[in-house]
Amino acid sequence: MKKVSFLFLAGAAAFAYYKYSKFSESDKKDLADKIKSKGKKLYDDYVPSNLKNTVENLN
């Protein structure tokens, strides 16, 4: 079962890499912007404020 799961995961990763390599530069930028905005939203929604303050003080 582990071998099948690994092969499926490897196949999905290879397919994703193939699709990404066919993107135009603007599509790649749009995808990166979407990922960044979702990451910022997750950070704002789920990271406790005391931890945010600690991270901001490090910068």
Domain residues for the domain of 45 are: 24-59
Residues 6 or more apart whose CB falls under 8 angstroms from that of 47 comprise none
pLDDT number for residue 16: 96
Three-state DSSP class for residue 46: helix
pLDDT number for residue 54: 86
Q: Give average pLDDT by consecutive 10-residue segment, the chain, 59 residues.
A: 91 96 96 96 92 81
Q: How many domains in the chain? A: 1
Residue 29 belongs to a domain: yes
Residue 38 belongs to a domain: yes
Residue 6 belongs to a domain: no
| Contact yes or no for 39/47 (Cβ under 8 A) | no
pLDDT number for residue 59: 65
Residue 12 belongs to a domain: no
